[in-house]
């Protein structure tokens, strides 16, 4: 498995020949200090950084690739490994090896990718859900979209900001593949990583201590209620004075800029608010666009409080990494890697369907 080095890198043990030496040769070629090939220089952007090889003092014959830990900067990293391509065997594989690989996932050629595993942090339970390769192999053409969407669900809502950012990252990798004809990749994967503890996207205010930490006025939210943010906030609930229904549009630019890419539910995001009476404020007066139908009470000042007190570190777009990994089956070529391109395009289509629905 992958080991952690005390300096913050990860160690991947070199596989037996010819796979291990081939992967080492690939990294050495791409990260050669004298490399001036623009194709390979751009490829570095999509790989973990490579720091050469390492051997433990107690076992000098054991060789490890020393690589960047892509998950290190995340507090609660959500991780998914997706094998890309129509074939998970290389051109030199034996008939027996081909049959073995095809039997593992017969749909590989048609779908173009395979989920090898995922680990997702759920804010609702403060725990991880893990799925192994058997989960990925159980996915069909009809269920693959829902199967992958599990990776982007926080336990509260679908992280559409993460899906959108992931699509952009995969599209960049696709552009690289469309423009190169010198390498073909087999049984290689994309590693998706994003921050699972998105406190700015969904905050659970279950006790006074947490409420004070977030600087949200006491009593604004009823105990344990979930607060979610969306470009267009749809509020359907009741105040102390009776029922309200309000749609707050993008015109509330004070928070829209911060929450433009925030997490959404499958339909409309809902806020469960217990509002208090408060004095009107002119903070958003110049940029307010409100549907007045059925609006009573003073919801706007309460929404203002909620967003005004959101943490300053809220980001406009999700912090997402998508890196290519596993290069034991990379071979020189003089044609486009059509199998990998096919898999990338299909994966983008699935991700786009998750985003649209």
User: Is residue 39 located within the same domain as residue 79?
Assistant: no
Contact 272, 306 (CB under 8 A): no
- Between CA 78 and CA 93 the distance in angstroms is 33
Contact 83, 113 (CB under 8 A): yes
User: Is residue 56 located within the same domain as residue 74?
Assistant: no
Cis bond upstream, residue 18 (ω within 30):
yes
State the DSSP code for 151: G
pLDDT value of residue 318 = 78
pLDDT value of residue 199 = 53
pLDDT value of residue 209 = 41
pTM of the model as a whole:
0.70
User: Is residue 88 located within the same domain as residue 59?
Assistant: no
User: Is residue 81 located within the same domain as residue 152?
Assistant: yes
Contact 330, 186 (CB under 8 A): yes
Q: What is the CATH number of the domain that holds 139?
A: 3.30.470.160
User: Is residue 194 located within the same domain as residue 104?
Assistant: yes
User: Is residue 13 located within the same domain as residue 75?
Assistant: no
| pLDDT tens sequence for the chain (357 residues) | 799 999 999 999 999 999 999 999 999 999 999 999 999 999 999 999 999 999 999 999 999 999 999 999 999 999 999 999 999 999 999 999 999 999 999 999 999 999 999 999 999 999 999 999 999 999 999 999 999 999 999 999 999 999 999 999 999 999 999 999 999 999 999 999 999 996 544 333 333 344 344 444 444 443 443 333 333 333 333 333 333 333 333 333 333 333 334 443 333 333 333 333 333 343 333 333 333 333 344 444 443 433 333 333 333 467 999 999 999 999 999 999 999 999 999 999 999 999 998
User: Is residue 168 located within the same domain as residue 38?
Assistant: no
Cβ-based neighbour number of residue 279 at 10 Å: 6
pLDDT value of residue 207 = 36
pLDDT value of residue 223 = 41
User: Is residue 168 located within the same domain as residue 39?
Assistant: no
Residue 232 lies inside a defined structural domain of this protein: no
User: Is residue 78 located within the same domain as residue 163?
Assistant: yes
Residue 158 lies inside a defined structural domain of this protein: yes
Domain range for residue 55?
1-69
Residue 290 lies inside a defined structural domain of this protein: no
User: Is residue 16 located within the same domain as residue 165?
Assistant: no
Tell which of 33, 51, 69 closes a domain: 69
Cα distances (Å, whole numbers) of residue 16 to 22, 24, 83, 175 = 10, 11, 21, 33
User: Is residue 89 located within the same domain as residue 164?
Assistant: yes
pLDDT value of residue 357 = 86
- The total number of structural domains in the chain stands at 2
Residue 135 lies inside a defined structural domain of this protein: yes
User: Is residue 185 located within the same domain as residue 326?
Assistant: yes
Tell which of 12, 37, 69 closes a domain: 69
Residue 83 lies inside a defined structural domain of this protein: yes
Tell which of 41, 69, 97 closes a domain: 69
Helices (H), 113-247: 133-137, 144-149, 160-178, 208-213
DSSP 277-315: ------TTGGG--B--TT--S-HHHHHHHHHHTS-TT--
């Amino acid at each position: 498995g992958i080991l952690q080095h005390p300096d913050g890198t990860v160690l991947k043990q070199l596989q037996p020949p010819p796979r291990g030496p081939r992967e080492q040769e690939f990294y050495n070629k791409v990260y050669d200090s004298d490399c001036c090939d623009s194709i390979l220089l751009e490829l570095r952007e999509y790989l973990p950084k490579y720091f050469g090889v390492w051997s433990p003092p107690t076992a000098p014959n054991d060789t490890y690739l020393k690589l960047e830990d892509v998950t290190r900067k995340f507090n609660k990293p959500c991780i998914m490994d997706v094998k890309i391509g129509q074939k998970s065997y290389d051109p030199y594989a034996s008939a027996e090896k081909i049959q073995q690989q095809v039997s593992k996932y017969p749909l590989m050629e048609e779908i173009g990718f395979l989920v090898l595993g995922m680990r997702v942090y759920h804010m609702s339970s403060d725990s991880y859900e893990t799925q192994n390769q058997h989960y990925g192999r159980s996915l069909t053409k009809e269920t693959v979209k829902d199967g992958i969407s599990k990776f982007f669900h926080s336990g509260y809502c679908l992280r559409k900001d993460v899906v959108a950012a992931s699509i952009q990252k995969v599209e960049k990798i696709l552009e690289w593949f469309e423009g190169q004809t010198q390498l073909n990749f087999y049984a290689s994967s994309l590693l998706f990583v994003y921050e699972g503890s998105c406190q700015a996207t969904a905050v659970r205010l279950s006790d006074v201590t947490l409420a004070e930490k977030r600087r949200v006025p006491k009593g604004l939210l009823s105990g344990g209620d979930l607060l979610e943010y969306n470009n267009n906030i749809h509020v359907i609930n009741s105040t102390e004075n009776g029922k309200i229904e309000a749609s707050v549009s993008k015109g509330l630019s004070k928070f829209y800029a911060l929450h433009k890419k925030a997490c959404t539910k499958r339909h409309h995001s809902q806020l469960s608010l217990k509002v208090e009476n408060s004095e009107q404020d002119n903070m958003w007066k110049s940029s307010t666009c409100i549907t007045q139908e059925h609006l009573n009470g003073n919801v706007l000042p309460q929404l203002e409080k909620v967003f005004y007190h959101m943490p300053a570190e809220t980001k406009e777009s999700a912090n997402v990494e998508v890196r290519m990994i596993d290069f034991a089956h990379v071979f020189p070529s003089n044609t486009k890697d059509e199998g990998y391109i096919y898999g990338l395009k299909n994966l983008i289509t699935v991700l786009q369907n998750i985003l649209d629905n």
